[in-house]
Amino acid sequence: MPVWLREYSWRQTGSAVYLSLPLRGVRVTPANIFCTDQYLKVSIPPFLFEAILYAPIDDTNSTAKIGNGIIFFTLYKKEMAMWDSLTLANANKEKLQHLRENAVLKAHEKAKEETEAKKVTKQEHKKYALEATMKLEEAERKRIEDLKEKERQKVTKELELWKKEQKDAEKQKRIQKEGELYQQLEQLKEKKKEEINKTRIPNEGTSKTRLKPTKGHGSCSMFSENLKEEQLPAPRSAATIKINFTSRVFPTALRESRIAEEEEVVYLQWLRKQAEARRTVSADLSELEDLKEEEKNPEWLKDKGNKMFATGNYLAAVNAYNLAVRLNSKLPLLYLNRAACHLKLRNLHKAIEDSSKALELLTPPVPDNENARVKAYVRRGTAFCQLELYTEGLQDYEAALKIDPKNKTIEKDAEKIRHLIQGTMQDY
């Protein structure tokens, strides 16, 4: 049998009723309180308080505060009036049962309406997320198409330039070939002229010794031969053609190649880089040798960084995590904790980088690393939002919600980011 609570105190104004219900020695939660417009019930087994109110109240705005073993109700009246009593005094058992049933029915209907409202809101959020995703995909597709178009224009321009260079090279080659042919032709003419001059000199000498002016017939023939020789056309005058040669584009001849020297230079550069790398490694090892034995343990350094972070010394925590990462770069929690420090120090790009590295190491996704993956997504999303990259931040928060869908804090923050995106898009 329940223990009915009869001790309570109340007072009223024209618009509200103030009820104090003492409950010492028991723990009260909001789930123990049930209230409708004319029915109030507090059930904490084995204790029970029930009241059929004198007049209807506004159960939506009415409140109940729990503290110091007392529940303090503030019940706002629907109509301005003074009550004769807190409860209905002349209500019979059937009327009380009817009021209880109506109260439970109204509560069920209200819960159903709230469920439907949440469902509609969830569908609207899903629709908005889908539209936002489609817009992002459309923008990305347009960006890719623009890049392709720019690349196509660039390739077309380079191809046209190459064709023009080839055409100019062929034209220059043709001019050069014509110049060589002209020079060969001039040489042939000079050679022909020399041959003619050689043949003319001995004929004149023989004619002087052999021919005599005896009768008119012989002298006539000699003069006719001289006349024929004099009638030969003179050779054309020589000319100079200026030829411009294009720059050399052919591979270097083997006799002029410097491949051996170039390979030697590359080899020397490689040796220098190797020496620098060895010096760096030796320097790091010498630094680590100065550390204490516990300071060479990444787990000890991680705990040290956590303590520094808890005291607000974020720079010292970052230094501890940095040394731990140098000792072991495969621990995702080091990057995750260092991302939290960078968030506190407003090193937002470093926070994004460390969160991404942690997510890269937290593979494959298994139930054991769910908590770490949620933190990594939330910290990277927070850094994106602080950089005003709200779309990227919302994507990380939604990824965290997929892993932990019951996390109300992340859901509330994601909702705020959606409102920010909506406000930004409307202002734009």
- Our measurement of the distance from residue 100's CA atom to the centroid of its chain's CA atoms, rounded to an integer in Å, reads 58
- Does residue 8 lie in a domain region? yes
Residue 423 sits in the same domain as residue 303:
yes
Element (H, E) at 348: helix 348-361
pLDDT at 379: 95
Question: Could you read off the pLDDT tens digit of each residue along the chain, which spans 428 residues?
Answer: 677 777 888 898 889 989 888 887 778 888 888 888 888 888 888 888 888 888 888 888 889 888 877 888 898 988 888 888 888 766 667 777 777 777 778 777 877 888 888 888 888 888 888 888 898 999 999 999 999 999 889 898 888 899 888 888 888 888 888 888 888 888 887 877 777 776 654 444 444 444 444 444 444 444 444 444 445 566 666 777 777 766 655 555 555 555 556 666 666 677 777 777 666 645 554 555 556 666 778 888 899 999 999 999 999 999 999 988 988 888 999 999 999 999 999 999 999 999 999 999 998 889 899 999 999 999 999 999 999 899 999 999 999 999 999 999 999 999 999 998 887 544 43
Residue 11 sits in the same domain as residue 80:
yes
Residue 303 sits in the same domain as residue 318:
yes
- Does residue 107 lie in a domain region? no
- Does residue 381 lie in a domain region? yes
Per DSSP, the three-state class of 90 is coil
CATH code of the domain in which 53 resides: 2.60.40.790
pLDDT at 9: 87
Q: 75 - beta bridge partners?
A: 17
Domain residues for 282? 266-292
Residue 22 sits in the same domain as residue 56:
yes
Residue 284 sits in the same domain as residue 320:
no
Q: Round to whole Å and give the CA distance between 73 and 71.
A: 6
For the entire predicted model, the pTM comes to 0.36
State in Å, rounded, how far the first CA of the chain is from the last one.
Answer: 65
- Our measurement of the distance from residue 309's CA atom to the centroid of its chain's CA atoms, rounded to an integer in Å, reads 28
Residue 350 sits in the same domain as residue 370:
yes
Residue 421 sits in the same domain as residue 310:
yes
- Number of folded domains in the chain? 3
Per-residue tokens: 216: 């008119």
Q: Of 277, 292, 307, at which residue does a domain stop?
A: 292
Q: Say if residues 99 and 39 touch (Cβ distance below 8 Å).
A: yes
- Does residue 53 lie in a domain region? yes
